[in-house]
Amino acid sequence: KVENCINRVKYDYKQYIECNHVSRGVWPLPQKLLSSRERYTLEPRTLYFVYGRESSAQEGCSVLDAAFKRYFSLIFPEYTAGRLYHEISFENKSFIVEVTVGHSDCDGYPKEDSPEKYKLNITDGQAFLNAETVWGYFVNKTYIKDFPRFQFRGLMLDTSRHYLPLRTIFKTLDAMAYNKFNVFHWHIVDDPSFPFQSLAFPDLSRKGAFHPMTHIYTQSDVRKVISYARMRGIRVLPEFDSPGHTKSWGQGQPDLLTPCYTGNTPTGSVGPVNPALPSTYKFMWALLKEVTSVFPDSYIHLGGDEVNFSCWKSNPDIRTFMQKMGFGTDFAKLEGFYIENIVNITSALNKTSIVWQEVFDNHIQVMVEVWKAGCYLCKVRKVTKARLRVILAAPWYLDQPHNWAHYYNVWPLAFKGTEEQKKLVIGGEACMWGEYVDASNLAPRLWPRASATAERLWSDENQTNSLDKAFPRLNEFRCRLLRRGIQAEPLSVGHCKYEYEGI
């Protein structure tokens, strides 16, 4: 009676419907999924999550205890909200979900190489969920054997162009977990504002935030975000983008930015970080030391994108420095010099550096995030040829007004290269830049379009190469997101049983 629903579904809508209790709404698609037509009733009074006898983690495991509670509420929202619920028991048998994990890492953080695979086996009155670590996820029915295609499945939020309240970040982390995203790339500061509260340099947020009291992230706020993410198996990757995109830094840190000149006269305006002053590196060392102590992840994003050379060119002190260093008039060398120094700092702090693609240079050991439109796979090929690891963002800019299919139709490994090169593509991420996005419209712009990226990064490419097959499943998943309180927008004409915030 056990059938492989996915393999049976081949352009036959009616067969698909028969399978819909398993294949519709399961998103991202598991690597292997078998299902019977038998159904078991789940009731709030008789459903229990328990730890398996062989499990390394047992009662008291913070991550799993919290996940049990959370998913119980997600399965029975009416029951846990105290809304009218008739406790008619259809069967008196209890339904036990037994969870077994191989390694008990209950108090640690998810790491780049944390195994996320799991098996789920449901039979009458019982379900067995086996995962290597506590970072394996829970899904609610049938037999599943599952593991991620890519290790790095990120979503980037920009909290500088608009401030996002903690509530909004938490909601996003909820939805990320439902979508099996495992990295929250926090583009926390940029030109418009500096909301990160630094204890070493308190003026950075006092003078650089939109408002020094309300529009900031205190270190306690940051810890809350990291902890909330951890409970959901999500790493937090901070980005402190320099030497460009740093206007707001200059508000609270005198002499950090380069004074621009017209001829021999300062114009009063400033450019990128000043790479010619020793004080710059002293400051960056102290700031990054603080940052890496607040963010436990082993990666840090150093930015490095879109550096405009015109202000550096105008400044006589910079030009003198160029001569002294033997850079001639090649400002790319100056940029490289700056980045190399910053990367050396983060290496000394035991962190792996990620940079945007402009900074790619065969000689610096960094991870490269490819973001520019055009032939992005050409760039991926080039970077992997230089044996550097790649994160792909270019096809997943969610601030663009494309529909879900555009973000689904992406083949990250479709470039000519060796097996070694392909392995260097460690994943990708969906980017939501903040020019036109804040708490008022973030969620519907993210979901369910980011879900397209999520499936591409988690699932088997060969099982997920059809838009037609993905569409009804994504529609159903979007309704589930709504029911879970995620403000996900519709994909087309239709309705959900539970509309957003109810009828």
Q: Two tokens at 377? A: 């796979």
Q: Near a copy of itself by CB under 8 A, which window of 324-332, 347-355, 365-373, 431-439?
A: 431-439
Restricting to residues 35-94, name those near a copy of itself by CB under 8 A. none
- Contact string 453-482 vs a copy of itself (x = CB under 8 A): -----------------------------x
DSSP string for residues in 419-465:
HHHHHTEEEEEEEE-STT-STTTHHHHHTTHHHHHHHHHHS-GGGS-
Q: Where are the beta strands (DSSP E) in 19-136?
A: 32-34, 47-51, 95-101, 118-123, 126-131
Q: Which of 439, 461, 471, 484 binds a copy of itself (CB under 8 A)?
A: 439
Residues 348-387 that bind a copy of itself (CB under 8 A): none
For residue 311, state whether it binds a copy of itself (rule: CB under 8 A): no
Task: Rank residues 39 and 497 by Cβ distance to a copy of itself and give the closer one.
Answer: 497
Instruction: Give buried/exposed letters for 430-457 (b at 16+ CB in 10 A, else e).
Output: bbbbbeebbeeebbebbbbbbbbbbbbb
Q: Which residue has the tokens 């994160």?
A: 391
Stretch that binds a copy of itself, among 89-97, 239-247, 318-326, 495-503 (CB under 8 A): 495-503
Hey, what are 374's tokens? 């055009």
| Residue 501 contacts a copy of itself per CB under 8 A | yes
Do 426 and 150 contact (CB within 8 A), yes or no?
Answer: yes
d(CA 98, CA 49): 6
Instruction: Please identify, among the stretches 6-14, 80-88, 278-286, 439-447, the one whose residues bind a copy of itself according to the rule CB under 8 A.
Output: 439-447
Q: Which is nearer to a copy of itself, 373 or 503 (CB)?
A: 503
CB 184, CB 157: distance < 8 Å = yes
CA–CA dist 358, 372 (Å, integer): 9
Least distance between a copy of itself and beta carbon 168 (Å): 9
The single residue among 444, 460, 471, 472 that binds a copy of itself, judged by CB under 8 A, is 444
- Is 306 tagged catalytic? yes
> Considering the complex, what minimum distance in angstroms separates the CB of residue 446 from a copy of itself?
11
Which tokens belong to 339? 């980045």
Sole binder of a copy of itself in the list 263, 268, 328, 494 (CB under 8 A): 494
Under rule CB under 8 A, residue 483 binds a copy of itself: no
Choose, from 38, 54, 306, 435, the residue flagged as catalytic. Answer: 306
Applying CB under 8 A, among 7, 41, 89, 214 the residue interacting with a copy of itself is 214
Measured from the CB atom, is 264 or 440 closer to a copy of itself? 440
Opening angle at CA 453, ends 425 and 398, nearest 5: 110
**What is the amino acid identity at position 188?**
I
Using CB under 8 A, count the residues that bind a copy of itself. 38
Judge contact between 356 and 393, C-beta under 8 A: no
Closer by beta carbon to a copy of itself, 127 or else 482: 482
Q: Which is nearer to a copy of itself, 166 or 286 (CB)?
A: 166
- Residue from 45, 69, 211, 282 touching a copy of itself (CB under 8 A): that is 211
Q: Binding residue for a copy of itself (CB under 8 A) from 183, 391, 437, 457?
A: 437
**Cβ atoms 444, 489 nearer than 8 A:** yes
Distance CA 162, CA 193 (A): 8
CA nearest to 130, candidates 148, 144, 142: 144
- Distance, in Å, from the CA atom of 65 to the CA atom of 232, rounded to the nearest integer, reads 12
Judged by beta carbon, residue 336 or residue 448, the one nearer a copy of itself is: 448
User: Per CB under 8 A, does 248 bind a copy of itself?
Assistant: no
Instruction: Decide: is 285 part of the binding site for a copy of itself (CB under 8 A).
Output: no
Task: Judge residue 21's burial from the number of C-beta atoms within 10 Å of its C-beta, 0-12 exposed, 13-18 middle, 19 or more buried.
Answer: middle
Residues 150-209 that bind a copy of itself (CB under 8 A): 161-163, 165, 167, 192-193
Q: Residue numbers of the site for a copy of itself (CB under 8 A)?
A: 161-163, 165, 167, 192-193, 210-211, 214-215, 401, 434-441, 443-444, 482, 487-495, 497, 499-503
Catalytic residue numbers, as ranges: 306
